[in-house]
Amino acid sequence: MKRAALYVRVSTVDQHPETQLHDLRQFAAQRGLQIVQEYVDHGFCGARARRPALDRMMEDARRHRFDVLLVWSCDRLARSTKHLVQTLDELSGFGIQFLSQREAIDTEGPLGRAIIVIVSAMAELERCIIIERLRAGMRRARLEGRQIGRARLDVNREQVVHDRRSGMSLTHVAKKHGISRASVCRITKQSALTPASLPCGEQLSVRAE
């Protein structure tokens, strides 16, 4: 029975890698593969070539600790064609078979490798188009005079700092000025307020209370 490794990636911490893992575990069982390791990069963009779990996976591939690598889709492994091809070249050199569940791609044959390059190129093109649309929208918004990014807080910053100096808690200051506790911390830090000038037990952390 071939030894299989699963690699999954999600771009934000709000996403759940368990969805991909569940599908891949079933996929491995259908193929008669024994899962020996699962690698998860949680909150990492696919454009980054260096990721903690990916680096560990490639190191284990060099040591031949598994025979097959399973991914949910090609863009989970890499978002650029260049990076994907380089990774596949390395895996092939280590004698590792690559399987992508969503695209039904198997690199054991030359056709599978050709298809995977085409799929990766299309995914990279789609990403570039999305980025360009976002930039165009931001340019149009600036020309129209609209706010880009977080709006500046409409608050008396000196009074916020004064209230914190006087011993008022984070929660009370935040409620008084209608802002978040994190904003209170940010304003006090920007005012160069040192922790020593705060009342005992009222440091600048949002967990002060």
Distance CA 173, CA 159 (A): 9
List 11, 73, 169, 191, catalytic entry: 11
Neighbouring CB atoms inside 10 A of 197's CB total 11
Within 8 A by CB and 6+ apart from 56, the residues are 39
For the question of residue 73 being annotated catalytic, the response is no
Q: Using CA of residue 173, residue 176, residue 182, residue 183, what is the dihedral sign?
A: negative
Within 8 A by CB and 6+ apart from 4, the residues are 28, 31, 33, 34, 35, 36, 66, 67, 68, 69, 70
Scanning the structure block, which residue is given the tokens 């000196």? 158
C-alpha distances in angstroms, 112 versus 104, 161, 203?
9, 63, 58
Distance CA 32, CA 24 (A): 12
Give the catalytic positions in this structure. 11
